[in-house]
């Protein structure tokens, strides 16, 4: 028998389109690493938040969970456009379901 370890902090990544919500919790990583992994995994599917309404998109956002203080902090995504930097609370990934996005993301984590 083993007791599940308690981590001080973890990153919760959520994938959503409509009512379909998938999530993955990551430990022993910081949010910059997760942000980079999301950008690298979906590099050819990422759209800016200003998008065409006819294309099905999955919204991905991150939250940092502090299990000691019981706090949740939303982590924004940073974009560069025309040498200006923008922060948005989520990133849009087009033509992929939340389940498929989660599976691809988890494969990318396992391949590291």
93 occurs within a structural domain: yes
Query: Which pair of structure tokens corresponds to residue 39?
Result: 């950008």
Task: List Cβ neighbours of 32 (8 Å cut-off, separation of 6 or more).
Answer: none
1 occurs within a structural domain: no
Interatomic CA distance for residues 101 and 50, integer angstroms: 20
Q: Note down the domain range covering 15.
A: 9-111
Whether pLDDT at 51 is above 60: no
60 occurs within a structural domain: yes
Average pLDDT value for residue range 53-77: 90
4 occurs within a structural domain: no
Whether pLDDT at 82 is above 90: no
55 occurs within a structural domain: yes
Query: Domains in the chain: how many in total?
Result: 1
- pLDDT > 90 in the chain, percent: 50
Whether pLDDT at 29 is above 80: yes
42 occurs within a structural domain: yes
69 occurs within a structural domain: yes
């Amino acid at each position: 028998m083993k007791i599940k370890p308690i981590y001080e902090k973890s990153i919760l990544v959520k994938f959503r389109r409509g009512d379909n919500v998938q999530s993955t919790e990551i430990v022993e990583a910081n949010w910059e690493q997760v942000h980079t992994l999301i950008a690298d995994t979906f590099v050819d599917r990422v759209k800016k938040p200003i998008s065409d309404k006819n294309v099905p998109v999955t919204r991905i956002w991150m939250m940092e969970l502090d299990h000691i203080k019981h706090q949740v902090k939303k982590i924004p995504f940073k974009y560069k456009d025309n040498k200006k930097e923008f922060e948005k609370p989520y990133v849009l990934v087009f033509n992929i379901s939340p389940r498929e996005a989660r599976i691809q993301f988890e494969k990318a984590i396992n391949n590291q």
